[in-house]
């Protein structure tokens, strides 16, 4: 297992001259003549997680999942379809409770074994389970319901031999046999921007080849991509009813996989979670789940909302992203400090502050291991193989940058790139 050097040992081990309790403070006036993007970066970062072993790219969860709980996400549903195409993976599919008697999921969860048509009478084959983290060893308060109806989007055409796009309109509704007393998730029906921090959860495969489903609920963090990146990764498959979300960096393998289908892609608001997408498909002929540069594809709630509202009642919608609860990396120009709430070093994560010392350089001020994983904190990554610290979404005033720092040794980093979002 890789280890990060505790803060109080850094000077002793590496012989650095800087005091971690007395960081240097240099004026910014001399830097005001730099071009805007570089200047904003200077106020940014240069940190130190030092000579750590190379970052491991082998992950063992959702892909790269962390434990989640239905106490936090009470609307999270496991859907088992008897004889379904993905029934060997955990619960078969994920879903989200959007009203007391309605669960939202993906249409492809109900395909026949051949995978070219919806199974006959899918409601008779479907069981929905709520209120349990583990879907093999059910919690004492687990709620199980059969399905009275399964409604598939009328434009969903799964047969690749006859369909112009067998992945399009990948949305379905399950009407429960009776209502449940569980708080549903809100749905987002507004415009969806790129570079949006999101979450996914599910019981699906935990390795990239689509095997080893998880009995326990897992979650991971993803970043929505631009339409251009999405289309390039899935050439000819992307329509206006879809969008992509993928890993934060070239070393981040976070992704959904087989068995996570139908589950929610969501963001946390101050008043609770809000779903923006439905896990649909991913990978490629040459890429497994969890391959950086091959983002997963999600059915858009906003684009397909009319299907939901025409068939289900009791839904709560939101059309604003203004109060997303996300702890971003941030630069405080008054103190010359960059605060990074979560830096991953292998499987561990740390809260870190960096002190800017002028000339685009920084050094480590503090580094403390986080006791828990906060899904609201924007993840950053130390790439030991390439000696880089990668900081997505650094807030500098009203602007946001994706930043890469190169480690120089002796607790110092220098800004390598700072690209505005």
- Contacts of residue 235, defined as CB under 8 A and 6 or more positions apart, other chains included, come to none
- The secondary structure of 165-208 as a DSSP string is -TTTT--EEEEESS---SPPPEEE-S---SS-EEEEEES-BSST
Could you give the count of Cα atoms lying within 13 Å of 184 in the half-sphere of its Cβ? 18
φ/ψ of 154, rounded to 5, equals -60, -20
- Contacts of residue 225, defined as CB under 8 A and 6 or more positions apart, other chains included, come to 194, 233, 243, 244, 245, 246, 295
Give the span between the Cα atoms of 100 and 299, in whole angstroms.
22
Active site residues: 108, 170, 261
Largest CA distance in the chain: 72
Task: Provide the 10 A C-beta neighbour count for residue 311.
Answer: 13
The tokens for 7 are 């803060």
- Contacts of residue 144, defined as CB under 8 A and 6 or more positions apart, other chains included, come to 127, 128, 129, 130
Give the span between the Cα atoms of 363 and 252, in whole angstroms.
24
DSSP, res 261:
T
Give the span between the Cα atoms of 305 and 85, in whole angstroms.
26
Give the span between the Cα atoms of 265 and 279, in whole angstroms.
7
């Amino acid at each position: 297992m890789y280890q990060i050097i505790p803060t109080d040992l850094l000077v002793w081990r590496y012989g650095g001259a800087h005091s971690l309790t007395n960081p240097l403070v240099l004026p910014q006036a001399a830097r005001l003549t730099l071009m805007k993007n570089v200047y904003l970066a200077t106020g940014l970062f240069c940190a130190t997680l030092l000579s750590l072993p190379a970052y491991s790219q082998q992950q063992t969860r959702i892909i790269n999942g962390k434990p989640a709980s239905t106490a936090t996400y009470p609307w999270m549903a496991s859907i088992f379809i008897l004889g379904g195409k993905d029934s060997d993976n955990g619960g078969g599919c994920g879903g989200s409770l959007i009203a007391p008697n309605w669960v939202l999921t993906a249409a492809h969860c109900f395909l026949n074994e051949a995978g070219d048509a919806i199974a006959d009478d899918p409601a008779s084959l479907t069981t929905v389970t709520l209120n349990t983290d583990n879907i093999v060893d059910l919690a004492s308060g687990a709620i199980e319901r059969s399905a009275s109806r399964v409604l598939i989007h009328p434009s969903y055409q799964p047969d690749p031999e006859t369909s112009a796009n067998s992945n399009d309109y990948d949305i379905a509704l399950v009407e429960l046999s009776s209502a449940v007393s569980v708080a549903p998730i809100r749905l987002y029906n507004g415009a969806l921007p790129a570079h949006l921090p999101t979450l996914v959860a599910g019981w699906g495969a935990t390795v990239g080849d689509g095997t080893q489903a998880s009995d326990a609920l897992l979650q991971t963090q993803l970043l929505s991509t631009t339409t251009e990146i999405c289309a390039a990764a899935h050439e000819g498959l992307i329509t206006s009813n879809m969008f992509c979300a993928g890993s934060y960096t070239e070393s981040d393998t976070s992704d959904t996989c087989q068995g996570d289908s139908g589950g929610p892609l969501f963001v946390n608001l101050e008043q609770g979670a809000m779903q923006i997408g439905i896990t649909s498909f991913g990978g490629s002929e040459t890429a497994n789940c969890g391959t950086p540069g091959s983002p997963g594809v999600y059915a858009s709630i906003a684009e397909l909302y009319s299907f939901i509202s025409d068939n289900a009642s009791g839904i709560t919608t939101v059309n604003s992203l203004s109060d997303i609860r996300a702890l971003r990396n941030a630069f405080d120009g008054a103190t010359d400090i960059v605060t990074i709430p979560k830096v991953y070093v292998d499987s561990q994560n740390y809260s870190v502050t960096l002190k800017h010392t002028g000339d685009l350089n920084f050094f480590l001020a503090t580094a403390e291991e986080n006791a828990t994983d906060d899904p609201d904190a924007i993840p950053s990554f130390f790439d030991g193989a390439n000696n880089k610290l990668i900081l997505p979404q650094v807030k500098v005033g009203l602007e946001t940058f994706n930043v890469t720092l190169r480690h120089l040794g002796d607790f110092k980093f220098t800004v390598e790139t700072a690209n505005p979002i």
